[in-house]
A and B are shown apart, each in its own frame.
Chain A
Amino acid sequence: MAILSKEEAKKIIDKVLAFSKADEMSVGLSGSRTGNIRYARNSVSTSGETTNLSLSVTAVFGKKSGTSTINEFDDASLEKTVRRAEEIAKLAPDNPEYVPMLGPQKYLEINSFSDSTAAITPDYRAQAAFDSIDPCAKKNLTAAGYLEDTTGFSALGNSKGLFGYNKATSIDFSITVRTADGKGSGYAARDYNDASKLSAKSATEVAMQKALASSEAKALEPGKYTVILEPTAGVDLLQNMMRSMDARSADEGRSFLGKKGGGTRLGEKLFDERVNIYSDPQNLEIPGSPFGGGGGGRFGGGGGDGMPQEKVVWVENGVVKNMYYSRYWAEKKGVKAIPAPSGFIFAGGTQTLAEMIKGTEKGILVTRLWYIRAVDPQTLLYTGLTRDGTFYIENGKIKYPVKNFRFNESPVIMLNNLEAMGKPMRASGNLIPPLKIRDFTFTSLSDAV
């Protein structure tokens, strides 16, 4: 049984803690069932399902810590794991940055579990693949897609009385549709906690439409253009920026948030005043985890050190309001520790994508960016390419598809060149609006379709 209830999880954690002879001990317990189906060339290539239940014990003596993991849950195995963690800890070098464990915490109520996702069967996955392949095959298009669903829980407890439990589900679907002559390609990606929100068929229809519309692309000269980035296109650049908001790196002078002459740019206006970015674990569209920091992701690595996740404003009216602080760095700086969130919310406007296109005299609609890599961590300059449908807009209308571009751009510069924002949509566990940006830098053309 990979998915334990709160009570079952607590019973095991308490039993483990009772075996402890260490100064401090923490226990992480997590389980999941993950299923997937992959298809290409209009045919299923692989599918599978794995279950996992794992216990991780960290023992601490002074400033030495050691971790041992196990997948067996009889008393003898649990005790053996505790002893192993203690042995490893005793032999470990001192960690000068060790911070004593947290006591009991209050966690927010978060609903990130959906029965419809938990009930997924291999037949559901096969049907989703069929719903995606069939319309493509009928129109002489080629589908390649991937669906993955996970149902899991994560619990943690420690010898100072901390206990937390969270149950979550997720489903991720992506589809690439290509024309038979290889001249058109379209993509769509959807992610939800609740599988009943996913329609593989309608996502596939979007990709089909983009594949057909992107055929016979014309070449435009590279240069600076006004662009509209769909949420699927903008999310990676923005996410990369948000992942760079670690306070320690900024204090150490090796981050885009480091300041000339020392110190950080906390409190400085770094972006257009319409930029507001926050995280909220209780947001209904992208429910997060009640605890985090170190684990990461929607299922975490056991919840890290158990820091509670709260609503945090990162950027307000273009001003940097908060950075991530590990417990060690927060203590050193005399501030409150803030864990990195699992997803962030970029507050947008109310316009639809169609309305944003309508309001554009000349510009380029970018539906997806690909192979994004950091070029300069100092300025957060990234390079990458457009992919799977790029279109020229003139006088409020999509005129024709254009060949893909390579870009070299920094999200910091991008968010200073903001023209308009649309209604946010969920993308990779975040809420991102379509963004209209002026002077977006395309540096070369690509022949790739």
Chain B
Amino acid sequence: MKRRDFMQMSGMGLGALMLPNVPVIGNSVPVEHLLDPWMDAPVKKILSEIALNAAKSKGATYTDVRIGRYLQQYVFTREKQVQNIQNAESYGIGIRVIANGTWGFAATSDVTADGIAKCAATAVAIAKANSKFQKEPVVLAEQKGVGDKTWKTPIKKNAFEIPIQEKIDLLMNVNGAAMANGAGFVTSNLFFVNEQKYFASSDGSFIDQDVHRIWPTFTVTAIDKAAGKFKTRDAISSPMGMGFEYLDGLASEKIAGPNGLVGYRNSYDMVEDAIVAAKQAKEKMTAKSVLAGKYDLVLDPNHLGLTIHESVGHPTELDRVLGYEANYAGTSFATLDKWQAKNFNYGSKLVNIVADKTQAHTLGAVGYDDEGVPCKEWNIIKDGILVNYQATRDQVSILGEKESHGCCYADNWNSVQFQRMPNISLKAGTEKRSVLDMIKGVDKGIYIIGRGSYSIDQQRYNFQFGGQVFYEIKNGQIAGMLEDVAYQSNTQEFWNSCSQLCDKDDYRTFGSFFDGKGQPSQVSAVSHGSATTRFDAVNVINTGRKI
């Protein structure tokens, strides 16, 4: 086996990742190499057993091994040209152990018997060195070995098998459609990820998984040079746990909204959205500037997903609640006493929020997490009450539970796995209700679509969100487009103002492809489902300024 080391990517925000010269994790390789088969599971099993035995012989009381091959293909274009195509591969082995009751981790790209044994010894040595600072030994929830298992994202078309030219043609069509409909500029991108990961643990689990993710996106810019103004509109696609079939644009997956607007469920029409985007970007130029005040908000799933992510997803991460992220992302207002009280009104009675890593087509869906726990679904908020958190094997005992939630993830073989957000979704309403029905009941409101500016404090109380497009609602009808809109609220106040939900026919998922957490920072991908939802009397500010 060849020895390789790999480039590491440091913590990088979404903004940086949108640049066409973004470094990717791993080595640049020819496109056809992405389809080369890798090691078979039996070979990986032999290699993982070398690690398990080596760690045990050095004094580890628990060991898990991740042999991973991570593939990425990113395509960047603007207007009529391809800016960059990144094809990258990264593979190696990460070994995590418990010795002296303390975690230790080491990783190597030297996937030979000798390299693996050395790496296991290093992991044990680090654990022993760190145990000097350890106040309480790690308590792992029991996880019976599951034996040999396999899991694969249920894709119909492997994106890596689609010729590059087809991808370029698609983006050129997208850009052309936007330009023909009034855009001054357009950038469009495709992101494809395939994680081929093998997990083995001293509990007796040997799990081979093949995980696929896709994200098509664009930004259309309209320009009025005479007025010195520009406006943008981003794609309302969602990153998905799907193959290239997400780009089929199936009519059956479209949801008709008010004013001819279209929502996309599990199939996206990128060219159609680009045409609408160009027209909307132009319309934004002359849209009315919002009058600050209280409005009832009707929030589209493609917008609400990010609000769920920031105001429910992050505050219910148990490691944040406990203080492990205090120096970076922060802590959480959703403290253990609020959960223990069993009566903390996180939201109104309509608010039912579930965590899962099982829902089809989502970014979080896998068979097992990165510590070999079978994935499941559980409640976070039930009828408005905070009932649980997101936890890993070494955390659930704090919640009095015996079984991990399966929330452990590492973004690469050379990153240590830690608690990451599963899919966190708002359940759709049980009463029959469409978006049009919902709008009919609103006297003074704003209908918001798409992911815009977002900011929230380090304990997740106070937030401010923008969007892509805003429509004024007057007396039950859409009265035209608004601009300069952002809403500010407090998490508990906001979720308690939730007054109506559309039904399951309107349910869609939003996704975050590059969610950052930890030091050094790691990314993860996560989905958030919801139907269009109404929130009453939310504070809206006007963000227009003159410089």
Write the residues of chain A forming the contact surface with B, with a CB cutoff of 8 angstroms. 34, 36, 38-48, 50-54, 56, 67-72, 84, 87-88, 91-93, 95-97, 122, 126, 129-130, 133, 142, 144-146, 148, 174-176, 178, 182, 187, 252-254, 256, 258-262, 270, 294, 301, 370-381, 383-385, 387, 404, 406, 408, 410, 412-413, 443-449
Interchain CB contact under 8 A, B547 and A410: yes
Once the chains bind, are B228 and A447 in contact (CB under 8 Å)? no
Residues of B within 8 A of A (CB): 2-8, 21, 23, 27-31, 81-83, 85, 103, 105-107, 109, 126, 129-130, 132-135, 168, 184-185, 221, 223-230, 232, 322-328, 330-331, 333, 414, 416, 453-462, 464, 466, 484, 486, 488, 490, 519-520, 539, 541, 543-547
- When distances are taken between beta carbons in the complex, the residues of chain B under 8 Å from A69 are 7, 27-28
B327→A448 contact, CB < 8 A: no
Please state if A40 and B323 are interface contacts (CB–CB under 8 Å): yes
Flag if B456 contacts A36 (CB, 8 Å).
Answer: no
Contact B326 A40 (CB under 8 A): yes
A sample of 29 cross-chain residue pairs with beta-carbon separation below 8 angstroms, ordered by A number, consists of A36-B519, A36-B520, A40-B325, A50-B8, A52-B8, A54-B7, A72-B4, A88-B28, A95-B81, A145-B327, A146-B519, A178-B323, A253-B223, A261-B228, A270-B547, A370-B458, A371-B456, A377-B230, A379-B545, A381-B543, A381-B545, A385-B462, A387-B330, A406-B457, A408-B541, A446-B461, A447-B461, A448-B458, A448-B461
Q: What's the Cα separation between A381 and B184 when bound, in Å?
A: 22
- Tell me the smallest distance from the CB of A352 to a CB of chain B, in Å: 27
Nearest chain B residue, comparing its CB with the CB of A370: B458
> Which residues of the partner chain B approach A253 to less than 8 Å between Cβ atoms?
184, 223-225, 228, 230
Judging by beta carbons under 8 Å apart, are B6 and A71 in contact?
yes
* B85, B130, B135, most chain A CB atoms within 10 A: B130
Chain B nearest CB, measured from A120 CB (Å): 15
Q: Is the CB of B455 within 8 A of A373?
A: yes
Top-3 shortest CB links A-B: A260-B228, A446-B462, A144-B326
List the B side residues contacting A53 at CB < 8 Å. Answer: 5
A443 proximity list for chain B (CB < 8 A): 464, 488, 541
- With A69-B27, A260-B227, A387-B458 known as contacts, the answer to whether A44 contacts B185 (CB < 8 A) is no
Contact B326 A43 (CB under 8 A): no
Distance between Cα atoms of A43 and B85 in the complex (Å): 43
B326 touches A46 (CB 8 A): no
- Residue pair B520, A375 in contact (C-beta under 8 Å): no
Report the minimum CB–CB distance from B409 to chain A (whole Å). 15
Say yes or no: A93 contacts B168, CB within 8 Å.
Answer: yes
Judging by beta carbons under 8 Å apart, are A260 and B459 in contact? no
List chain A residues, Cβ under 8 A from B228: 253, 258-261
State A70–B33 Cα separation when bound (angstroms): 14
Task: Tell me, in angstroms, the Cα distance from A448 to B228 when the chains sit together.
Answer: 39
Q: Are A385 and B5 in contact (CB under 8 A)?
A: no
The CA of A252 and the CA of B331, in the complex, are separated in Å by: 42
- Closest Cβ of chain B to A89, distance in Å, is 11
| B230 CB contacts on chain A under 8 angstroms | 253-254, 258, 377-378
Q: What are the residues of chain A within 8 A of B2 when measuring CB–CB?
A: 72
CA distance A392 to B8 in the complex (A): 43
Residue from the list A48, A51, A129 in contact with B133, Cβ < 8 A = A129
Question: B226 contacts which chain A residues (CB < 8 A)?
Answer: 260-262
- Report Cα–Cα, A375/B541, bound state, in Å: 12
Is B326's CB under 8 angstroms from A178's CB? Answer: yes
Q: Inter-chain contact count A-B, CB under 8 Å?
A: 226
CA A385 to CA B460, docked complex, whole Å: 11
**Chain B residue at minimal CB-CB distance from A299:** B10
Q: Are A449 and B130 in contact (CB under 8 A)?
A: no
Question: Using Cβ atoms and an 8 Å threshold, which residues of chain B touch A448?
Answer: 330, 333, 457-462
A252–B223 touching, CB < 8 Å: yes
**With a CB–CB cut-off of 8 A, which chain A residues contact B331?**
178, 182
Set of chain B residues within 8 Å of A370, measured between Cβ atoms: 330, 457-458
Assembled-state Cα–Cα distance A96/B456 (Å): 42
The interface residues of chain A lying within 8 Å CB-to-CB of B454 are 373
- Docked Cα-Cα span, A14 to B240, in Å, equals 45
- Chain A contacts for B4, CB-based, 8 A: 70-72
Chain B min CB distance to A150 (Å)? 9
In the complex, residue of chain B having the shortest beta-carbon distance to the beta carbon of A446:
B462
**A385 CB contacts on chain B under 8 angstroms:** 455, 457-458, 462
Q: Which residue of chain B lies nearest to A172 when distances are taken between CB atoms in the complex?
A: B519
| A72: B residues at CB distance < 8 A | 2-4
- Other A-B contacts than A38-B519, A375-B466, A412-B547, 14 sampled, CB-CB below 8 A, are A54-B5, A54-B7, A72-B3, A88-B28, A97-B81, A144-B324, A262-B225, A294-B21, A371-B456, A373-B454, A375-B464, A379-B546, A383-B453, A408-B464
- The complex places the Cα of A48 from the Cα of B247 at a distance, in Å, of 41
> Complex Cα distance A68/B31, Å?
11
Q: Is the CB of B324 within 8 A of A45?
A: yes
Using CB atoms, name the residue of chain A closest to B82. Answer: A93
Nearest CB of A to B124, in Å: 14
Q: Which chain A residues lie closer than 8 Å to B106 at the CB level?
A: 48
Known A-B contacts A70-B27, A447-B462; A40 and B457 likewise in contact (beta carbons under 8 Å): no
With both chains docked as a complex, state the minimum distance between the C-beta of A422 and any C-beta of chain B, in angstroms.
Answer: 25
CA distance A229 to B5 in the complex (A): 43
In the complex, which residues of chain B have a beta carbon less than 8 angstroms from the beta carbon of A93?
81-82, 168
Task: List, in ascending order, chain B residues with CB within 8 A of A84's CB.
Answer: 29-30
CB atoms of A371 and B455 under 8 A apart: yes
Closest A residue to B221 using CB positions: A254
Taking CB atoms, residues of chain A closer than 8 Å to B126 are 47-48
Cβ–Cβ contact A447 & B333, under 8 A: yes
On chain B, the residues within 8 Å of A67 by CB distance are: 28
Residue of B nearest to A374 (CB): B453
Check A40 against B324 for contact (C-beta < 8 Å): yes
Q: With A and B bound together, what is the CA distance between A444 and B541 in angstroms? A: 10
Q: Is A44's CB under 8 angstroms from B130's CB? A: yes
Residue of B nearest to A51 (CB): B5
| Option from A71, A126, A145 in Cβ contact (under 8 Å) with B27 | A71
Q: Which residues of B contact A126 (CB under 8 A)?
A: 129, 132-133
Min CB distance A284 to B, Å, is: 25
Query: Using Cβ atoms and an 8 Å threshold, which residues of chain A touch B455?
Result: 371-373, 383-385, 406
Q: Which residues of B contact A256 (CB under 8 A)?
A: 547
Q: How far is the CA of A253 from the CA of B7 in the complex (A)?
A: 37
- Beta-carbon nearest neighbor of B546 in chain A: A379
A260 to B331, CA, bound (A): 45
Chain B residues within 8 Å of A50, by CB: 8, 107, 414
Q: Is the CB of A56 within 8 A of B28?
A: yes
Give the residues in chain B near A406, CB-CB below 8 Å: 455, 457, 462, 464, 488
Q: Roughly how many angstroms separate A381 CA and B520 CA in the complex, as a whole number?
A: 29
A327 shortest CB reach to chain B, Å: 13
Bound-state Cα–Cα, A413 to B543, Å: 14
- Please judge, given known A-B contacts A371-B457, A449-B459, whether A254 and B133 are in contact too, CB under 8 Å: no
Evaluate whether A95 and B133 lie within 8 angstroms (CB atoms) in the complex, with A370-B458, A376-B545 already known.
no
Instruction: Output the residue of B23, B103, B228 with the most chain A CB within 10 A.
Output: B228
Q: Nearest chain-B residue to A187 (Cβ)?
A: B327
Distance of A39 Cα from B129 Cα, bound (Å): 14
Known: A40-B325, A88-B30, A144-B323. A379 touches B458 (CB 8 A): no
Contact B225 A42 (CB under 8 A): no
Asked whether A383 and B327 contact (CB < 8 A) given A46-B416, A253-B184, the answer is no
Q: Are A142 and B456 in contact (CB under 8 A)?
A: no
Query: In the bound complex, how far is the Cα of B414 from the Cα of A122, in angstroms?
Result: 19
- Whether A376 touches B519, Cβ cut-off 8 Å, given contacts A46-B105, A70-B27, A371-B455, is no
Q: When the two chains form the complex, which single residue of B223, B484, B520, B545 contacts A254, counting CB atoms closer than 8 Å? A: B223
Contact of A95 with B105 in the complex, beta carbons under 8 Å: no
A residues in contact with B27, CB < 8 Å:
68-71
Inter-chain contacts of A133 with B (CB < 8 A): 133
A36 to B3, CA, bound (A): 25
Which residue of B83, B184, B484, B547 contacts A413 across the interface (Cβ within 8 Å)?
A: B547
